[in-house]
Amino acid sequence: MLISGAFLQALSLGRIASTTASTSACNWADLFASNLSSGATIVEASDPHFSAKVAQRWTTHGAPSICGAIQPATAEDVEKIVKIATSHDIPILATGGGHGMSSTLANMQHGAQVDLARLNNIDFDRDSGSLTIGPGVKFSDVIDMLYSSGYQFPVGTAYCVGVIGASLGGGVSAGQGIMGLLSDLMQSVQIVTAAGDSIEASRTINPDLFWALRGAGANFGIVTSATYRVPRFINGGKVVNANYMYPASMSHSVFELLASFDDELAGGLAFNIATFYNPQVDQVVIIVNANYHGTMSEAMDLLEPFLELGPVDSQHLYVSWPEVFSTSYFGIDDKKACGRNQHVNMYSIAAIRTDADALSAFVDQLSAFSRLHPDVATTFVVHRFATQAVLGTLDDDSAYPYRDLKMHM
């Protein structure tokens, strides 16, 4: 692939995010404030309400040295922020949604968080299904609007995720077996490069940069808007949402059953499996949540083995696709994944097959740990999503390298 100047210019933004500031103090606030629009704000890290005003995206086990957050009000503000940061050797970290965290930012010193939450514009064409959004838009901002218009988006399993941020990493979801990855639906972006220039990237304009952004896009620049092609309703917008609860002692049987879907998983079917420690009974329980974009009778044919396994509780619901968030896992604490300022320690891994022995051994270890440390809330989550539409897009269409993955943990 030919590498354009725009791609190289964008690529250099990664050095902004990782460099160490030459200054030894947090003295840059006035420098930015005097150059931004009247709608932009700066929140000092010393502000006692900083964590309520700005969503942090790092772990306290390796937090960066952040002087404060800049909240741009316009795309032009973003251009000026990047130019100032570059010329004054100030490390910056752009953030959009409010889910997940990074453990790789500890070396950032005296940096500036660029909080893009105010760039939350939404423009949807109901006739064509074209959706253009800003980097501050979360799944929760578009779900009801798209549903009421007869459309469906391949959203993740937490409503607080930033749409563009998820897309830059690929954008996996329970609906990917039919709709593909979020990045596959992306049509174009407007991005601010390391030089502070705003440029467009699409399949025809700066195509090499557009290729890189979809799947490996976190450090090529700051995306200020993105346009997507949104699919029409599947199954009239209805989803079968089934929940099954098992004791941890049945984990091997549960994962063996999951392994039976490794070679063939219906395109409309997805599994979300999570463990919860119940201190009242002093044991870990496993909840299997299954989404199916089809009829209840079709779903029951596919899910009958989970009933035959003998769950201690089961539930079969037929809901609109926006209701999946609140009805998964029996509706247990559905907002915790989007809670603010939680003290968490998170790890993830992916696989191309289900190893029932390894997974059940881990659940046994987790159960033992939870009994010894009931004050620590432990959760192990496994996502098994279909891949038909994901594999239907050519591997070299984007930088996303994991189209054959079958499991995210």
Q: Which residues contact 22 (CB under 8 A, 6 or more apart)?
A: 89
- Quote the tokens at residue 122: 């939404």
Tell me what pLDDT residue 236 has: 93
pLDDT > 70? residue 4: no
Task: At 234, give phi and psi (nearest 5°).
Answer: -110, 130
Angstrom CA distances, 293 to 11, 183, 242, 401, stand at: 39, 21, 12, 26
Task: At 39, give phi and psi (nearest 5°).
Answer: -85, -15
pLDDT tens digits along 273-330: 999 988 888 889 999 999 999 999 999 999 999 999 999 999 999 999 999 988 999 9
pLDDT tens digits along 220-273: 999 999 999 999 999 999 999 999 999 999 999 999 999 999 999 999 999 999
Give the whole-angstrom CA distance, residue 90 versus residue 331.
Answer: 44
Q: DSSP letters along 177-215, please? A: HHH--HHHHEEEEEEE-TTS-EEEEESSSSHHHHHHHHH
Give the strand pairing for 407-408 and 283-292: unpaired
Task: At 26, give phi and psi (nearest 5°).
Answer: -85, 85
